[in-house]
Amino acid sequence: MSLAIAVRTAFYIILRFLAKIVFKIFYRDHGVFHPENFPPDDGTPILFIAAPHGNFLMDAITIFVTCPRYVYFLSARSNFDYPIFGTLMTFIGCIPVTRPFDVKRVDGDGLVRVIEDGKIVIGNDLGNILKVRDTLYVEFEEPDHETLKEASGIVEEIINDDKVRIKEPGMKWTTKGKPKGQLKRLVEYGSFVIRVDRESTINNLEKFLPKYLTKSIDRLSTSPGVLTSPVFDGQPNDIIIHSSNQETTEHTPLIPESSSSSRRSSYIHSVPDIPTTYSYTRMPPHSEVYSAVHSHFSKSNCIAIFPEGTSHDNEHMLSLKYGCAVMSLGYLASNEPDASGKPRKLKLVPCGLNFFDRHSFRSRVFVEIGPTIEIDNELIEMYKAGDESKRKASQQLLNTIHTSLTEITINAPDYETLLFFKTASKLYREKLSPQKFNFSDKIYLLRRIAKKYSSTVPLTEEVKILKWDTNTYAHKLRKHHLSLPHLSVIPISLILYLPLYLFLIVLTIPGLIFFCPIGLIAQYVGKKQGENTMLYDENSLSVTRWPGMRWVGKRTWVCLWSLAKLNRRRYFMLQKELLSTRVWKWLDDNNN
């Protein structure tokens, strides 16, 4: 073993020890079900596939502390930008993955039109600017002048220099309508078009304009080149710039009333054929990621991946991405041996993350390890054949992975339905009161109820009423004539425990004074970062989060910030103690 590997392994062990401390502080109850399903360390590489993915930090820590092997994580490239945390991820060998919504958008030059029911987009020199598999974005303004809508599609074919074809089902709406300023807006200034966003000011626009003008020389002669005083109409998100042309228009193209009021399908036949600006993103090739993963597999290492591709707030798994299937089949389809000269092998291990009240501090989490998935040689041969057979092989393996994860996770359409499942499970257990249920049995019962409900019960009005009645019963509302918990006239237990409570309160005062600032500041930082997470999500992933539930982003930053500040404060106190010791020693030596 080389020195670098030894140092990294030692650092991994230390970091895992610290992660266990954070893990045990954050969760009051945790455990691993069926740890016997962990494959033995026999030199075979393992791909751990975990779902559902609720939080990029705590989910990774959960796998990090429960898995007995050294695990290399695949993580979004944006996570590597965080100070300290990104450095730690790089040092322990995490593999960065660029997601579609992590790629920076590029503003296109000129205007485009969407025609033929969203299948074709035309624009001057558009075919030379875009490439196949680029994601194209266009935006329009609602007739109320208050919201913007954005549509997107993937380029399937470059027809000619001015025309591209969009992949089925064509351009589709990505937003239901957002306040102005959350998306970039079009402003015509003189004879050319610029884009402004909610952070734009007159100063940074003046800095931006000269760079913009150098890209289009023909506009330079007709444009004054400087901005006059901006006029704000009372809305911080609206910026109106008066140019030398008093007849200039502003905002993005207006959606016709008939299109905006329509409640038909969200696809592009409801998007108007109006010239508008565009932007696009270009995904870098995944060959680097697959190459890094295959290199680890060849060295018999373990990789952990969250196949949903993004963290979310749903009570069920999102659709799985093809990455886990492609990297597995791609590795086994190679005719080359592994690093030790043996034939290539690979095991897939599904890991179900079962959270309970995961938006709350001191909640519970249990990891269930599913049976190992062995990839059939038939799928490997289909993948080698390429084309349609390759796609079918990836789809079959992905279906197998999804089925395995479904068997070890609890999936509900929404939070209210999940409460209904929990209440039904409690009522069922009360009828079997003589029988003792451990927590594993409770989760198994809850999963069986959820699975049976989802497969047999139709979503009718009677079912909705039953769910409502059951949930209100669980909350012990007065309308159900439930008596309040009985309290004895003489609270003997309270009197007996009161001296102990007072003694413990006195003992907590020093810790309260010492840690209260950290907690308050961490709460503030977590709230702000949670709001930023929701704002980012509203622009990109609006279907995967609950409105107002900021804890997915908040708890991550509370843990990160508190840990950093706590260590800094401990270092400060340690230095103070060392300094005090040296001062007293110096005084004692002088007195002697």
Residues 79 and 118 in one domain: no
Tens digit of each residue's pLDDT (9 = 90 or more) over 342-363: 899 999 999 999 888 776 777 8
Q: Considering 453, 480, 507, which residue would you say is the last residue of a domain?
A: 480
Q: How many domains does the chain have?
A: 4
pLDDT above 90 covers a percentage of the chain that reads: 23
Using alpha carbons, list the distances in angstroms from residue 227 to 99, 194, 271, 380, 517. Answer: 37, 12, 33, 62, 46
Residues 125 and 199 in one domain: yes
Residues 192 and 237 in one domain: yes
Which domain range does residue 304 map to?
3-31+43-100+286-407
pLDDT number for residue 276: 84
Using alpha carbons, list the distances in angstroms from residue 93 to 89, 303, 325, 330, 360. Answer: 6, 10, 22, 21, 31
Q: Considering 281, 310, 340, which residue would you say is the last residue of a domain?
A: 281
pLDDT at 335 over 70: yes
- DSSP structure class, residue 288: H
Residue 32, judged by CB atoms within 10 A of its CB (0-12, 13-18, 19+), counts as middle
Mean pLDDT confidence for 384-395 = 91
Tens digit of each residue's pLDDT (9 = 90 or more) over 500-545: 888 888 888 887 887 777 667 766 766 666 555 544 443 333 333 3
- Do the domain assignments include residue 212? yes
Token pair listed for 272: 């108007």
Residues 576 and 433 in one domain: no
pLDDT at 239 over 80: no
Residues 79 and 132 in one domain: no
Residues 329 and 313 in one domain: yes
* pLDDT band per the 50, 70, 90 thresholds, residue 557: low
CA dihedral 292, 293, 298, 304 (to 10 degrees): 140
Domain containing residue 355: CATH number: 3.40.1130.10
pLDDT number for residue 530: 58
Residues 577 and 464 in one domain: no
pLDDT number for residue 270: 60
CA 530 to CA 359: how far, in whole Å? 12
pLDDT at 411 over 50: yes
Residues 269 and 180 in one domain: yes
pLDDT number for residue 536: 43
- Do the domain assignments include residue 38? no
- Angle, helices 439-456/415-431, rounded to nearest 10 degrees: 120
- Do the domain assignments include residue 485? no
Residues 111 and 215 in one domain: yes
Tens digit of each residue's pLDDT (9 = 90 or more) over 419-452: 888 888 888 887 776 667 777 788 888 888 888 8
Q: Indicate the length of the chain as a whole number.
A: 592
Residues 117 and 135 in one domain: yes
CA 129 to CA 135: how far, in whole Å? 12
* pLDDT band per the 50, 70, 90 thresholds, residue 585: low
pLDDT number for residue 178: 56
The dihedrals phi and psi of 163, each to the nearest 5 degrees, come to -145, 135
Mean pLDDT confidence for 53-64 = 86
Q: Considering 354, 382, 407, which residue would you say is the last residue of a domain?
A: 407
The residue ranges of DSSP E strands in 20-146, in sequence order, are 27-33, 46-51, 71-76, 95-97, 106-107, 112-115, 120-123, 135-141
Tens digit of each residue's pLDDT (9 = 90 or more) over 438-495: 777 888 888 888 888 777 777 677 777 777 776 666 665 444 444 445 545 556 767 7
pLDDT number for residue 580: 54
- Do the domain assignments include residue 489? no
Residues 503 and 475 in one domain: no
pLDDT above 70 covers a percentage of the chain that reads: 65
Question: Is 213 or 491 the better-scoring residue by pLDDT?
Answer: 491
Residues 276 and 144 in one domain: yes
Task: Read off the pTM.
Answer: 0.68
Mean pLDDT confidence for 372-391 = 92
- Do the domain assignments include residue 577? yes
- Do the domain assignments include residue 116? yes
* pLDDT band per the 50, 70, 90 thresholds, residue 404: very high
* pLDDT band per the 50, 70, 90 thresholds, residue 395: very high
